[in-house]
Chains A and B, each alone.
Chain A
Amino acid sequence: MENHCFGDIIFEILSRLPAKSLMRFNCVCKTWNSLIRDDPNFVQSHIARSQAPPTATRLLFDLYYHDNKRDVAVKENKKRRIEGFPLELQEPRHYFNYEKMRTCSNHCNGLICLYNVEDTRVYLLNVTTGEIKALSFSVNDVKSPLYPPRLCLGFDLVMEKYKLLQLFVEYNNNKLVTKMRIRTLGRDSYWRNCCHMSSTVSPLRSNFLNGVLYWVHCPCSRIFYFDLTKEELQSFSLPEEYSHFAVLDSMQTALRGKLVMHCFNTEINFSNYIYDELVKPKKVEENNPPLMENFKEENSYRENFVKRSRERKILFCIT
């Protein structure tokens, strides 16, 4: 092996490897270890490559709670086609005891918040590498301590910092109000009060995409969105004909990089809406029979998803 330009070549080859290979090769030698773990140029290069098609590697993680009895049935490698994205379920990777640790936020860039029941601290989990870090501050110092805290994790694309949003519900004049406070990780040493909304949304059903957090709010047929850079909360209404019920499809949103929603009208016909830009939905494949079959299969999967969600809190992460 010749030695000149060796470093450049190694860099180029390693930055094209999938995360699992890199996590295995970080014990090859000290040089490779510090390249993979610590070199900011390398990390940036790898992230850029894994997000840009056609070489995009999208690893969807199915986070569920390991249950000895039910696990045997679920642990199959299934290939699933969703709109041309072949998927393969991987073996379960990281295990957490539900009694002790549970998810308390949405996923963002392959990170998710976990709440430790025993020490009442919030931890950040990197789903790809399994690294877990405790947040240095408390989330429980509010009037009505929540168990676990209702958090939303997002990434401010301009500041290039992660921000944590905490939601808590209060009764104000006999009305339920959701108040928010926000904190920039690695920068703010205190919580800043933020906006509020006159209804409740589930933070676990929030979706992070391109610097914005989204929630669907069905009773008032609106989508709330929070711009992490501007730190503003806004909303827009769902398409009229399908505003009966809507669900944000976490997985398709992650796969396509666009907001994908299943919207239902009162007759439970449904349509998929894909939002290229906010407030300008592109309705997709409504009455197309072969694709409707696809959606029916999708829908039954989604039903399972919802069922499983209730039983076991399933989230999809993209990394």
Chain B
Amino acid sequence: MITLQSSDKDVFEIEQSILIQSGTIKNMVEDDFTFIPLPSVDTETLIKIIEYMKKHADKTDSKEKNIKEFDKDFMKKTLNELFALVFAANYLHISSLLELLYPSIADRIKDKITEAIRQIFSIRCDFTPEEERRIIMDNKWAHEGTEIEGTLD
């Protein structure tokens, strides 16, 4: 059994066999660590990560359809939650979860306007208004279309 500690100092005891899906944890286990602090993962996110790994631990054929359904539902979260997951999965090196998250997030943001993107990613625009206008003019068609929306989720 391995103990994980979230950034909020909550502890979780999980079986090693489940946790080795995380490359990071696997390495630490191989170095004989049994207590693993994760200062960059909060409790809420860690619970979800553990839920994912538990579901994916037993990959028998009969469970495959089940797992696909689970994955589909698992992605039905707010954009903020998905981002928290992607950072955690990136830090923990859980490639299957990353391969699930990247396209889901891409799909969620692909039709958004630039201002929404800036707010979602907390990016400050460093173009002058003139430069920005120029870029938009060069790609006018990309800014037109009924599918484009400005929600933050």
Contact = CB atoms under 8 A, between A and B. Distances in A.
B123 A28 contact: yes
B40 A94 contact: no
Contacts of A129: 139
Interface string B109-125: 11101100110011111
B140 to A, nearest CB: 8
A28 B125 contact: yes
Interface string A70-111: 000000000000000000000101100000000000000000
A24 B114 contact: yes
B102 A29 contact: no
A27 B98 contact: no
A286 interface: no
B135 A27 contact: yes
Nearest to A77: B146
A2 B139 contact: no
* Range, interface on chain B: 35 or more
Contact of B143 (A13, A17, A24, A55): A24
B87 A16 contact: no
Interface string A4-40: 1100111011101110110111111110110000000
Interface string A46-86: 00000000010000000000000000000000000000000
Contact of B125 (A4, A14, A29): A29
Contacts of A29: 118, 123-127
A1 interface: yes
Contacts of A20: 141-142, 145
A17 B118 contact: no
Nearest to B88: A2
A14 B109 CA distance: 10
B111 A1 contact: no
Given A2-B40, A16-B106, A26-B139, A9 B90 contact: yes
Given A4-B40, A8-B90, A12-B102, 17 more contacts: A2-B40, A2-B87, A5-B91, A10-B121, A12-B98, A17-B109, A17-B110, A18-B110, A20-B141, A20-B142, A23-B142, A27-B135, A29-B123, A29-B125, A29-B126, A30-B127, A94-B141
12 contacts: A5-B91, A8-B90, A9-B86, A12-B102, A13-B109, A20-B141, A27-B132, A28-B121, A29-B125, A32-B123, A130-B138, A130-B141
